[in-house]
Structure 1
Amino acid sequence: MKTLRKTLLLLCMLASSFGLSAQTISGKLVDEQNQPLPYANVVLLSLPDSAFVSGTISGEDGAFKLEGTLKKQIVRISSIGYNTVYKSTQSADIGIVQLQWNATQLGEVVVKGDLPKTRIKDDALVTTIQNSPLAHAGTANDVLGHVPGVIKNGESIEVLGKGSPIIYINGRQVRNASELDQLSSASIKDVEVITMPGAQYDASVNSVIRIKTVKPVGEGFGFNSRTVLGVAYYIYGLEELNFNYRKNGFDLFGMLEYDNNRDRQNNTMVQNTYSKSLINQATSSRRFNQSQLYAGKLGMNYMFDDRHSLGFIYDFSYRPTTTRNDSYTSLSVDELLENELTTADTTDMRNRQHLVSGYYNGSWGKWQLDVNADVLWNNQDKDQQVNEMATDTDNRIFSTDNQVDSRLYAAKAVVSRPLWNGKLSFGTEWSFIRRTDLYTSQESFINDSDTKLNEDNGAGFVELSQRFGKVTAMVGFRYEHMDSRYYEGGKKMEEQSRTYDNLFPSVMVSFPIRDVRMRVNYTRKITRPAFSQLNGNVQYINRYTYQSGNPYLQPSYRDYVSLLTNYRWLTVMLDYAHVSDYIMSVYTQYGDDPEVALLQKQNAKSYHELTGMVNIAPKFGKYHPVLMAGVRAQLFDMVFCGETVKLDNPIGIFRFNNAYNLPFDAWLNLDFSWRTKGNAENMYLEDTWQCDLGLYKSFNNDKWSVKLQCNDLFSTANSGMVLRSDIREITMKKVLDTRNFSVTVRYKFNTAKSKYKGTGAGDSQKSRM
């Protein structure tokens, strides 16, 4: 009987134990910017003795699950640099938990994590910058030139096969390239490259780069300064001051910058026109350019609590530029010299831009709302003075004036919440554009124009992501409506005015195969003509070459399919794109004279494009090499001089970056890049390569830093191309002062990065302006 009672008691205890352990406790962790917080420790403790029950770490999406009981237990959540949080288990789903940054924890802590430097995370390819050699690269611009899948071509940034990206810093869109130089590489936490943006982004956005900075340290007043002194052929310089004041939830920040730059460029162009006669135009020119930049911004942010914040920012820039172009052109018909031109062209341009942007970010329970509103005003006036001397025709001395005024009003709202094992997001975006373009010359051979463009855009989108075990899937739809009204001389032009209604789907599936992470995407994108490409101005280059916009341009569409894989330090990407109505540069006859060419944009027929990339980033002690090899090939043909010509020679892109940690914690960088010859659009590009050398050292706990840099050490980064169009073949070569030496000095005092969470609105329309 005693044995039976013991057996029954043991069975009851086991049944009770199984009943209690059958509960699954789940939740999601986010940081102060409501971004997923991965790799945090989540531990289930019993009460009142705080004994360990079970534990896990949060996933890359911040989500976690624990097996436990709902009675007399508590969840402890901790991560380096954050305040520890305790949550009751009265509900199996404890919802979204936001961890607050604790700067005091980092006084004596140096994080040496072994996370992979590049990994797939949902829709992005994430490269860790903090505590890596890239933290000593110099600026954000320097960092992006080393990120897998990103190509730095001079001062421009491109994503392989996707063109120029939209770039964000902590959720705020970058308005000009100087913002990337204003951000120190030591302040960057990671860089996310999105090669297939989903429904939340405008359908014209082919790629996105999101930069996240290291969490701010301390409160009170802080500032940092950057001074750059360099020489290419001319001496150039830059001075920049950033300041910030933070107290509790209040955040005031600003920036002032002055940049003075001069450069020169030598160009040669040979144009052959194969009509009834062979017309040859050979031009050599020397261009001198001088520009200044006066820029600044002032912003405020206030966090009411962990769930509600708002802020605004005012950003302005003024850039006066003077360009002088001296050229010599010879015209031959059937190899007989007919005319020679000597031209002196001086252009003065003044560009002013003002941006006011505001946001509100709030959450109620599981619901989150993000609202952004932007007002952008851009004004550009350009005066051109031309003095053209000819041997066999009349001389021309004249001037032109161009006034462009653009206004943008935009708003965007996004609502999101956790749903099942994922997230649901939906929202709307609106923009209104008013643009006027007045061009006058008072010359009979150049037409004056007075154009106006009014454009209204509306969009709605929905996006759902779900996790099924180790598989993540996301599907989204975006609907866009555009109403464009084009006016010439105050009269509406019906043929150039258009209305578009488009639906853009996107699908993403991410899954592991053992230790290999894989992602497959499909999306449809649109490229709308820039406003400067739609105007009817005919601008004078020389007596035989003119340039104009094309009001009849149609949007271009791309259907992308992408495969991305990542294994430790190896990343492989494959892309296929079907391109319709691509917008490309062509030379056609201007008027009735075959000797005069008009350069403008036109829509081309459909073609296919393939892109591939392999990125290898191993580590050998203090030596950190990174090798990226890419290829881009198009299946494109065109009619040239009555015959079909295939333009399908692939272009190879190679980058070999080398970082070495020297004694006294100095860093030496030696980078090599090479682009092979091949076809792009209707062009044949010559190969080009360059080698860069840099030395970085910080002092006094990183308060001071000095970087010595030599770009294009052997002065080889010149460009050459052959463009074919209709019956014209143009060969162009550019030689710039790409070799330059610079010294950059930074000083930081109690710096604290802004908490600004605005993401902006009307991003794609801003890029078109």
Structure 2
Amino acid sequence: MKTCIAAARRKLISRETLNRITLLCALLGLAVCSEAQDIAGTVTDNQQRPVEFATIVLLDAKDSTYITGAITDIDGRFAIKAEQPGLLKVSCLGYGDTYVDAAPGNIGTIRLTPSSVALGEVVVSATRPRTKIKDDALVTTIENSALAHAGTANDVLGRVPGVIKNGESIEVLGKGTPLIYINGRQMRNASELDQLSSETIKDIEVVTSPGARYDASVNAVIRIKTLKPAGEGFGLESRTMAGAAHYVYGLEEVNVNYRNGGFDLFGMLEYDNNRDRQNNTMAQNTYASSTIQQSTATRRFNSSQMYAGRLGMNYTFNEHHSAGLIYDFSFRPTETRNGSYTSMSVNEILENELNNADTTDVYNRQHLLSGYYNGKFGKWQLDINTDAMWSNQDKYQQVNETATNADNRMFATDNRVDSRLYAAKASLSRPLWNGSLTVGTEWSFVRRTDIYASQESFIDNSNTKIHEDNGAGFAELSQRFGKVTAMIGLRYEHMDSRYYDNGKKMSEQSRIYNNIFPSAMVSFPLSNVRVRLNYARKISRPAFSQLNSNVQYINRYTYQSGNPYLKPVYRDYVSLLANYRWLTVMLDYAHVSDYIMSVYTQYGNNPEIALLQKQNAKSYNELTGMINAATVFGIYHPVLMAGIRAQFFDIKFCGQTVKLNNPIGIIRFNNAINLPLDAWLNIDFSWRTEGNAENMYLEDTWQCDLGLYKSFCKDRWNVKLQCNDLFSTANSGMVLRSDVREIRMKKKLDTRNISVTVRYKFNATKSKYKGTGAGKDQKSRL
């Protein structure tokens, strides 16, 4: 009876929530259906680039008398007050005049054709990267700038305002890892950034407050747009890299493309062989009834390969309809060898010494099948994306541990993870009033099995399954009122997560969530400064690996495990962005609830064993600021970015409250110099100051990188010589305090290396694939 009542209550709550969403969407629709009195649109050239300062004149349709006029802004947009239909005359220097019949409302895009007047030879030289606020994004133009010679998309992102390159990872300041799109298609793996040459990039859009059309777990989005290639037929592009650190490594990649009319067939093969080494020291103190001291020195060697490929096709039926299918696979075998020495003392009296040697072999396989359809029906634009992903991970660990005052241990563990994802997303958009309306839905279904086996009694075996069903609906409205642009959005998400332990459903770990995520944006000029204000509510769900109950053996005094009781993290963001010519300023406030952070607790009843796992912390606030200046002095193109991140957070440590409010500063100084023969020298410096993040104190770290770039044969060949971490200073240190434990760790990383990359392209045509993917949050969690 109680079960039936609980089920009825859940259905009632869900029905009430759906009713609220329906009412809100109805009010949203009513708010935008008023009669408009503006004729609005956008002017572009024949390559769909916005035309600035074009003259718009509204003429009487009967006798062509002048009524009113306007000039397009930096994004090619205009709006004219009008009470009745008329004839628009659009003109701009270098283009032929265009006449359009227009009525009040959004008339869409007007395309200008270059005039036939010969202007003689025009030489376009590199200028500074131009950054501006456009709709929901901060847009940096790469084409014809110094950044076009940076090397790869990865190199470019490390120089874009608001973006931080930390090793091979990309972060948006204050927002973490972004979702990255390349020409509207979601990036499948990080290697795609290295596959994309910087000279093929048109611009990069950084979205720091994504709207309702994106999953609520997405805190930041980067959209990369490439230049449109010319020509059809067969195209080929290859990339070869060879490098040296304390070893020799390399990479080989080949992209092929065949295009004929509306048909597009493309493929890619890549092989990557890499290694790294790392030296760590850790001191762990436990202040219980006795003071337990552990000191560990570890040397780690890692060897990995990647075999990846892609095969896809695309067909454009006409300018209004296109469809495509793509298959993506990767296989990543990795071997890690660790050797460590640990001493354990109680009240400064040595109790035991350990020598550990362990080997871990990991085999990751992933298959992804994606499809899309884009169609236009009158004023409606329909986008449908589907994804099916299969991934497997086999992990084998062998441990050999000798002790001076305890029994020796030699054992093995086996961890097998199998994941399945099926997702679909559909959205409808159309011009409405002086803007556009987008509505849509997104669904995903996840099935994940995690089996962990050990033959030892001190480590528990586990067999867990997670089944998750997710559904979402969203609506987003953007409007333009003169020079003011506004956007409001609403997203509803329903998640049903079921957790099984040895085939039995665990009610406490199984949960149902119903969430509403609003977002709003307004952009307006203040004299010559463009300003944008944003609000968004976001969620971060724990990764599936963080939800398992496996216990990983580090040594007999330190274990690591997941936590099936983790709850999602909620963030409320308020952001301010301002842009004036070469200067960009960003301020961001975030209220964070239930943040997931690493803690050390006691394992079982033994105070000598520490368990590292993730737990939800209490709420706290965070402030982030950034200023970016990019200008040019002849052949010298400097870009300076300074940022700061401050949290207001405290913890309980040894019965006392410890404030962790020291801010962290970030300095990035990029210098590009145009040398003779059109070669480019890049000297990049980055520094992160000491300060607090989460429940940690981080030491400062800095590094300097050098690069030399030159293209040949009309850009058919290009060569990049790169030296990363010239002075081998990109090391890290931290102090983590939790409950009655304090851990001090230092890492000496293997980041200094030198490499040479050679690219060759023949009739290189990029795929016209327009899919954007579905189930993005679930794919990242898997």
TM-score computed with the length of structure 1 as normaliser: 0.92
From 544, 548, 566, the counterpart of 2:561: 548
- Give the drift of 1:238: 0.2
For 1:79 and 1:734, the matched residues in 2 are separated by 59
- Show CA shifts across 1:398-454 (max 9, x none): 000000011110011111111111111111100000000000011100000000000
Match of 2:226 in 1: 213
From 533, 536, 545, the counterpart of 1:532: 545
- Give the drift of 1:355: 0.5
Classify 1:71/1:327 alpha carbon distance in 2 versus 1 (closer, same or farther; 3 Å): closer
Match of 1:271 in 2: 284
From 162, 174, 191, the counterpart of 1:178: 191
1:393-432 matches, cutoff 5 A: 393-432=406-445
Partner of 1:162: helix, strand, or coil?
coil
Q: Is the 8 A contact 2:201 2:226 kept in 1?
A: yes
Q: Is the 8 A contact 1:151 1:157 kept in 2?
A: yes
1:69-218 matches, cutoff 5 A: 88-89=100-101, 95-97=107-109, 111=124, 117-218=130-231
Q: Confirm whether residue 27 of structure 1 aligns to residue 41 of structure 2.
A: yes
- Show CA shifts across 1:265-322 (max 9, x none): 1111110001111111111111111110000111111111111111111111000011
Match of 2:499 in 1: 486
From 463, 483, 491, the counterpart of 1:470: 483
Match of 2:248 in 1: 235
From 627, 635, 643, the counterpart of 1:630: 643
For 2:142 and 2:745, the matched residues in 1 are separated by 39
For 2:53 and 2:77, the matched residues in 1 are separated by 10
Which runs of 5 or more residues in structure 2 are unaligned? 1-36
Partner of 1:472: helix, strand, or coil?
strand
Classify 1:84/1:187 alpha carbon distance in 2 versus 1 (closer, same or farther; 3 Å): farther
Q: Is the 8 A contact 2:40 2:108 kept in 1?
A: no
- Give the drift of 1:622: 1.1
- Give the drift of 1:28: 3.7
For 2:370 and 2:91, the matched residues in 1 are separated by 35
Q: Is the 8 A contact 2:392 2:419 kept in 1?
A: yes
TM-score computed with the length of structure 2 as normaliser: 0.90
Match of 2:392 in 1: 379
Q: Is the 8 A contact 1:75 1:89 kept in 2?
A: no
For 2:113 and 2:413, the matched residues in 1 are separated by 57
Letter in 2 for 1:95: I
For 2:426 and 2:344, the matched residues in 1 are separated by 58
For 1:751 and 1:460, the matched residues in 2 are separated by 39
Match of 2:534 in 1: 521
Classify 1:544/1:24 alpha carbon distance in 2 versus 1 (closer, same or farther; 3 Å): closer
- Show CA shifts across 1:198-218 (max 9, x none): 111111111111111111211
Q: Is the 8 A contact 1:638 1:645 kept in 2?
A: yes
Match of 1:301 in 2: 314
- Show CA shifts across 1:659-684 (max 9, x none): 01011100011010000000000000
From 461, 467, 474, the counterpart of 1:454: 467
Match of 2:332 in 1: 319
Question: Which is further off, 665-674 or 49-58?
Answer: 49-58
Letter in 1 for 2:515: N
For 2:737 and 2:86, the matched residues in 1 are separated by 77
- Give the drift of 1:100: 11
Question: Which is further off, 521-530 or 85-94?
Answer: 85-94
For 1:719 and 1:106, the matched residues in 2 are separated by 57
Match of 2:10 in 1: none
- Give the drift of 1:632: 0.4
Count how many residue pairs are aligned between Structure 1 and Structure 2: 743
Q: Confirm whether residue 730 of structure 1 aligns to residue 747 of structure 2.
A: no
- Give the drift of 1:32: 9.7
Classify 1:96/1:471 alpha carbon distance in 2 versus 1 (closer, same or farther; 3 Å): closer
Classify 1:674/1:482 alpha carbon distance in 2 versus 1 (closer, same or farther; 3 Å): same
Q: Is the 8 A contact 1:583 1:602 kept in 2?
A: yes
- Give the drift of 1:390: 0.8
Which runs of 5 or more residues in structure 1 are unaligned? 1-22
Match of 1:14 in 2: none
Q: Determine what percentage of the aligned residue pairs are the same residue.
A: 72
Q: Is the 8 A contact 1:37 1:58 kept in 2?
A: no
Match of 1:13 in 2: none
1:600-749 matches, cutoff 5 A: 600-749=613-762
- Give the drift of 1:737: 1.5
For 1:758 and 1:286, the matched residues in 2 are separated by 44
Q: Confirm whether residue 557 of structure 1 aligns to residue 570 of structure 2.
A: yes
From 335, 341, 345, the counterpart of 2:354: 341
Letter in 1 for 2:101: T
For 1:709 and 1:461, the matched residues in 2 are separated by 45
For 1:446 and 1:192, the matched residues in 2 are separated by 48
Q: Is the 8 A contact 1:222 1:244 kept in 2?
A: yes
For 1:565 and 1:28, the matched residues in 2 are separated by 23
- Show CA shifts across 1:332-355 (max 9, x none): 111111111111110111000011
Classify 1:301/1:388 alpha carbon distance in 2 versus 1 (closer, same or farther; 3 Å): same
From 759, 763, 782, the counterpart of 1:750: 763
For 1:389 and 1:106, the matched residues in 2 are separated by 81
Classify 1:327/1:679 alpha carbon distance in 2 versus 1 (closer, same or farther; 3 Å): same
Partner of 2:177: helix, strand, or coil?
coil
Q: Is the 8 A contact 1:30 1:96 kept in 2?
A: no
For 1:133 and 1:326, the matched residues in 2 are separated by 45
For 1:450 and 1:551, the matched residues in 2 are separated by 13
Q: Is the 8 A contact 2:128 2:630 kept in 1?
A: no
For 2:703 and 2:128, the matched residues in 1 are separated by 31
Q: Is the 8 A contact 2:39 2:102 kept in 1?
A: no
- Show CA shifts across 1:143-176 (max 9, x none): 1100111111101111101111111101111111
Q: Is the 8 A contact 2:126 2:146 kept in 1?
A: no
For 1:133 and 1:115, the matched residues in 2 are separated by 6
For 1:498 and 1:408, the matched residues in 2 are separated by 19
Classify 1:106/1:265 alpha carbon distance in 2 versus 1 (closer, same or farther; 3 Å): farther
Classify 1:766/1:543 alpha carbon distance in 2 versus 1 (closer, same or farther; 3 Å): same
For 1:213 and 1:339, the matched residues in 2 are separated by 60
- Show CA shifts across 1:711-739 (max 9, x none): 11000000110000000000111111111
For 1:121 and 1:713, the matched residues in 2 are separated by 37
Question: Which is further off, 58-67 or 398-407?
Answer: 58-67
Q: Confirm whether residue 254 of structure 1 aligns to residue 271 of structure 2.
A: no
Match of 1:582 in 2: 595
For 1:45 and 1:91, the matched residues in 2 are separated by 10
Classify 1:115/1:706 alpha carbon distance in 2 versus 1 (closer, same or farther; 3 Å): closer
- Give the drift of 1:65: 4.5
Letter in 1 for 2:689: T
For 1:751 and 1:54, the matched residues in 2 are separated by 46
From 303, 319, 322, the counterpart of 1:290: 303
- Give the drift of 1:742: 0.4
- Give the drift of 1:387: 0.6
- Give the drift of 1:142: 0.5
- TM-align CA RMSD: 2.8
- Give the drift of 1:245: 1.3
Classify 1:56/1:589 alpha carbon distance in 2 versus 1 (closer, same or farther; 3 Å): same
For 2:540 and 2:84, the matched residues in 1 are separated by 53
- Give the drift of 1:262: 1.1
For 1:223 and 1:108, the matched residues in 2 are separated by 30
Letter in 1 for 2:199: A
Partner of 2:318: helix, strand, or coil?
coil
Q: Is the 8 A contact 1:383 1:399 kept in 2?
A: yes
Letter in 1 for 2:78: F
Match of 1:7 in 2: none
